[in-house]
Each structure stands twice: as structure tokens, then as C-alpha cells.
Amino acid sequence: MTTTATPTPAATMTTPADPATTTYWTRIDSPLGALLLIADRTGALTSLSVPDQKGGRTVREDWVHDPGRFRAAEEQLRAYFAGDLEEFSLPLRTHGTAFQERVWAALDSVPYGATTTYGGIAARIGASRAAVRAVGGAIGANPLLLLRPCHRVIGADGSLTGYAGGLERKVRLLTLEGALAS
């Protein structure tokens, strides 16, 4: 006699995500629009995007929505937008080329309320003036908008050049920080 096994409910359910490789996400309301925060399994933030951001991330089907993982980020972002926080203290993890990582680390040294130029970032990482265009490309690829303050980088002539989140948002951030007159 041949019998056929009946699938158990567990066998017909979707397999839960592997916690070792799971990507977590949430959205947080802000003056810049709904911020999309993405973190890895350790809780390190890997991306912060604003709506309609050039190169911004979008939620994937296999990611897990878990607002609880982002409580510290939400508290610090709210304090920043309220003018009560000048420096973020959050675990961050990026995956770029060695050059991009050097540029992104240099962004961390630009203080709240200050600006620098693309040439200034090139000098901070020991790159030549000829590398300014490459520095601009790396800054434009910054996955941690706002947390890594690429909005503090301006043109050599003082102009508010490119910002992946849009120039209007760049103006809002620099005004909030006191780097621009309101």
C-alpha cells in the first residue's frame, strides 16, 4: 500500500528570513519627508534615503519591516530636526570602494554648522585637486544621506551644487544647522 504524506502547515508556509542575512527597514516621518532607514542584522544602519532621492533605495519584498530596531535612530533624528542634536551616534555600515569609503569617512569630519568644498574633501583624503570630480561622484553615492553629512559640501565658489536629496532639502539642512541664513 502506498501512502502520500500530507504536507504539514509548516511545510506550506513561507520560510522565515535567515537572520544572518536579513535586511530590516522602517520609515520615519521628518521635515524632509518620509525617511527610509535600512539596517543589517547587527542593527548597523546601511542606508538612509529621502523620497525621490537620486540613487535612493526602495523596499524589497524579502526585507523585514521592524520599526523597533530603529528606535535610537528615530530619537536622534527627531532631536537633530528639533535643533537639539549636532552629532549622530549610531552604528553605521557602508559597502563602497576603498576610495568611496575614504570620502565618506571624511564627510564625518565636517562639523555641524560648517561647510567644506569638494576640493576640501579631496585634500582631507590626500587626493589631488584633479580628483575633485571623483570625490563628487563618491559623495553623490553616499548611502547614508544626512547621517554622513554630504549636505555640508558646497562648490568652490560657495554655490550649493548637487545633492542626491535635492537642493531644496540641502538648503533646509544647512539653514537648520546655521550654515545658511534663513
Q: Backbone dihedral region of 3: left (phi > 0), alpha (psi from -120 to 50 degrees) or beta?
A: beta
The set of residues, in sequence order, having a beta carbon less than 8 Å from that of 13 and lying 6+ positions away, is none
Identify whether the C-beta of residue 50 lies closer than 8 Å to the C-beta of residue 32: yes
- Give me the catalytic one of 150, 154, 164, 176: 150
Q: How far apart are CA 131 and CA 114, in angstroms?
A: 22
HSE-CB for 113 with a 13 A CA cutoff: 6
Q: Would you say 147 and 89 are in contact if contact means Cβ atoms under 8 Å apart?
A: no
Measured distance CA(8)–CA(29) in Å, rounded = 42
150 as an active site residue: the answer is: yes
How distant, in Å, are the alpha carbons of 4, 114, 145 from that of 173?
Answer: 64, 11, 11
Residues serving a catalytic function are 150
